C-alpha cells in the first residue's frame, strides 16, 4: 500500500473517531450531574471498600473486581462528586463506539465490500453512540459494569481478528494472549462477557476461515484456553446443585427449585424462558422505536408458551434465527449482497443476550442496559440494509435516466 493511500486512510479514521467522540459527548453532556440511583447507593455511596485504596487488591479479587476498582479510583480522585463517575462512563462509551467502528470496518473488508468499509462502519458507530436505548448503560453509574465489559469484549474480538491476520507466529501469540487477557478482564467487569468464545468461534467460521473447520483447528491452542476459561468462569457464576436440579430434575417447573444459579425462587426456569421471548421482542422494539423507556419495568411473567403474546414472540425469534441460518448456508444475492454479514450479526444479538435472556432466572427479567452490546448486531444490520437499499434505488434511478 502506497504512503499517500495510507495517509488518506489514517485521515478518514481520525475524522471518524472525532465524529463518534463528539456525537456521544454532545448527547450525554447533560448527564454530568445526574444523581446516584438504585444500586449506585449500596455499591458506591455506601460501600466502604471503594473509599480507601488499601482495599483495591481485595476489590480486584471480587466477582466484578475491575468495575469495582474503577469506582474506587473515581472516589480517590473526586469522592462522591457524580461528575467524575459520569465522565468515565461517557469516555468508556466513546471508546466502545470507536471499537464498533473498527469492528465493522475490518469485517466489511473481509467480506470484499471495501467500498462500504468507510461509511457503513461510521454510520453504525454513530448510531451506537447516540441511540436512546443506551441511556441506562451510560447514565446509570453502576452500569459502567455493562459498558466496561463490552469494551473488553470488543477489544478481544479485534485482537483476535488482527491475530488471525498476523504473518508472524510471535505476533499472533502476543495478540491471542491479549484476547485471553481481555476476556478475563471483561468477565471481571461483568459476567455478560462469558459468551466471547462463542462469538470468536462464529467470527472465525464466518469471516476468517470461510467455514473451513480444518483452518479453524490451526488455532486450537487459543480455543482450548478460551474453553478452559469459559468452564472456569461459568463455575464461578453458577450454583451447580440448584441449576442441575432445576434443569434435569422432575421439578423443572417447580418454583421452589428454580434458583438456577442465582437463587431466584419467584419464577421457574421455564417461566423465565417464556418471558424472555417477550423481553427480546421488547428490546427489538426499543431499538426500532425507542419510546416508553423505563429504568424499572413491571414486566408480566409468561406462564406458558401458548399465551398469544409469548407464542408470537417465540415465532418471531424462530423466524429471525432461521433467516440467519439460511443466509449462512445459502446467501441470496437477489435479496441482499451481505447475507453472511447479516447472518453473523443476527447470531451476535442472540448470543450476547443469552446470559440474561435464557432459562436462567434473574430477579429482574428486563433491563435496557442488557441490550447495550447486543445492539451492535441490530445497528450493523440496519445500516448495511439501509445503505444497500439506497444504492439499489440510486442505480435504478440512474438506469431510468439513461433510457
pLDDT band, residue 392 (cuts 50/70/90): confident
Q: What is the pLDDT of residue 123?
A: 96
Which three three-digit cell numbers place residue 237? 457464576
What's the 3-state SS for 380-394? Answer: HHHHHHHHHHHHHHH
Q: Is it the case that residue 241 has pLDDT exceeding 70?
A: no
Distance of CA 307 to the CA centre of its chain: 30
**pTM for this prediction:** 0.91
Provide mean pLDDT across the span 140-149. Answer: 97
Rg (CA), the chain: 22
For residue 330, what pLDDT band results from cuts at 50, 70 and 90? confident
Closest to 260 in 3D by CA, of 278, 300, 146, 249: 249
372 burial level (CB within 10 Å; 0-12, 13-18, 19+): buried
Q: Which distant-in-sequence residues (6+ apart) come within 8 Å of 60 by Cβ?
A: 66, 68, 69, 188
pLDDT higher than threshold 90 for residue 49: yes
181/175 Cα distance (integer angstroms): 10
H or E element that contains 276? helix 269-288
Mean pLDDT of the chain: 89
pLDDT, tens digit (0-9, with 9 covering 90-100), for 170-179? 999 999 999 9
Mean pLDDT, rounded, for 244-261: 36
Domain-wise residue ranges, the chain: 261-403
pLDDT for 116: 55
Specify the 3-state DSSP secondary structure of 259: coil
Q: Is the pLDDT of residue 242 over 50?
A: no
118-122, 150-154, 248-252, 307-311: range with lowest mean pLDDT: 248-252
Residue 402 has pLDDT above 90, yes or no: no
pLDDT greater than 90 at residue 7: no
Residues 157-192: b if buried by 16+ CB within 10 A, e if exposed: bbbbbbbbeeeeeeebeebbebbbebbbbbbbbbbb
Confidence of residue 264 (pLDDT cuts 50, 70, 90): low
Grid cell, residue 61, equals: 479479587
CA atoms within 13 A on the CB side of 336: 22
pLDDT(225) > 70:
yes
pLDDT value at residue 245? 36
Per-residue pLDDT band for 6 (boundaries 50, 70, 90) equals: confident
Q: Given pLDDT bands bounded at 50, 70 and 90, which one contains residue 114?
A: low
87, 141 Cβ separation under 8 angstroms:
no
Residue-level pLDDT at 254: 38
- 240 pLDDT band, cuts 50/70/90, is very low
Q: State what percent of residues in the chain have pLDDT above 90.
A: 74
Amino acid at each position: 500500500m502506497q504512503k499517500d493511500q495510507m495517509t488518506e486512510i489514517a485521515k478518514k479514521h481520525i475524522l471518524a473517531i472525532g465524529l463518534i467522540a463528539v456525537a456521544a459527548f454532545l448527547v450525554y453532556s447533560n448527564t454530568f450531574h445526574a444523581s446516584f440511583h438504585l444500586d449506585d447507593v449500596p455499591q458506591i455511596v455506601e460501600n466502604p471498600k471503594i473509599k480507601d485504596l488499601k482495599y483495591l487488591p481485595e476489590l480486584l479479587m471480587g466477582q466484578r473486581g475491575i468495575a469495582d476498582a474503577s469506582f474506587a479510583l473515581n472516589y480517590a480522585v473526586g469522592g462522591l462528586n457524580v461528575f467524575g463517575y459520569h465522565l468515565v462512563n461517557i469516555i468508556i462509551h466513546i471508546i466502545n463506539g470507536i471499537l464498533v467502528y473498527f469492528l465493522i470496518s475490518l469485517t466489511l473488508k473481509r467480506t470484499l465490500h471495501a467500498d462500504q468499509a468507510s461509511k457503513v462502519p461510521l454510520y453504525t458507530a454513530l448510531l451506537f453512540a447516540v441511540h436512546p436505548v443506551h441511556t441506562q448503560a451510560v447514565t446509570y453509574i453502576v452500569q459502567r459494569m455493562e459498558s466496561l465489559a463490552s469494551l473488553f469484549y470488543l477489544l478481544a474480538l479485534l485482537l483476535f481478528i488482527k491475530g488471525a491476520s498476523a504473518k508472524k507466529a510471535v505476533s499472533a501469540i502476543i495478540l491471542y494472549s491479549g484476547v485471553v487477557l481481555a476476556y478475563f478482564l471483561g468477565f471481571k467487569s461483568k459476567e455478560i462477557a462469558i459468551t466471547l468464545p462463542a462469538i470468536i468461534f462464529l467470527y472465525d467460521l464466518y469471516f476468517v476461515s470461510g467455514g473451513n473447520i480444518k483452518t479453524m483447528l490451526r488455532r486450537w491452542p487459543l480455543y482450548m484456553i478460551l474453553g478452559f476459561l469459559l468452564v472456569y468462569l461459568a463455575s464461578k457464576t453458577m450454583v451447580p446443585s440448584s441449576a442441575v436440579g432445576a434443569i434435569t430434575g422432575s421439578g423443572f417447573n417447580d418454583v421452589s427449585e428454580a434458583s438456577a444459579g442465582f437463587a431466584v425462587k419467584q419464577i421457574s426456569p421455564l417461566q423465565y424462558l417464556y418471558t424472555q421471548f417477550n423481553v427480546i421482542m421488547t428490546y427489538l422494539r426499543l431499538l426500532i422505536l425507542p419510546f416508553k423507556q423505563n429504568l424499572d419495568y413491571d414486566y408480566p411473567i409468561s406462564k406458558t408458551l401458548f399465551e398469544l403474546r409469548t407464542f408470537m414472540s417465540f415465532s418471531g425469534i424462530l423466524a429471525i434465527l432461521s433467516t440467519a441460518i439460511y443466509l449462512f448456508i445459502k446467501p441470496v444475492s437477489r435479496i441482499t449482497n451481505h447475507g453472511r454479514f447479516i447472518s453473523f450479526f443476527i447470531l451476535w444479538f442472540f448470543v450476547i443476550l443469552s446470559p440474561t435472556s435464557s432459562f436462567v432466572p434473574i430477579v429482574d427479567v428486563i433491563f435496557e442496559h442488557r441490550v447495550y452490546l447486543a445492539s451492535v448486531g441490530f445497528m450493523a444490520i440496519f445500516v448495511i440494509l439501509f445503505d444497500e437499499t439506497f444504492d439499489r434505488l440510486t442505480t435504478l434511478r440512474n438506469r431510468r435516466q439513461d433510457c
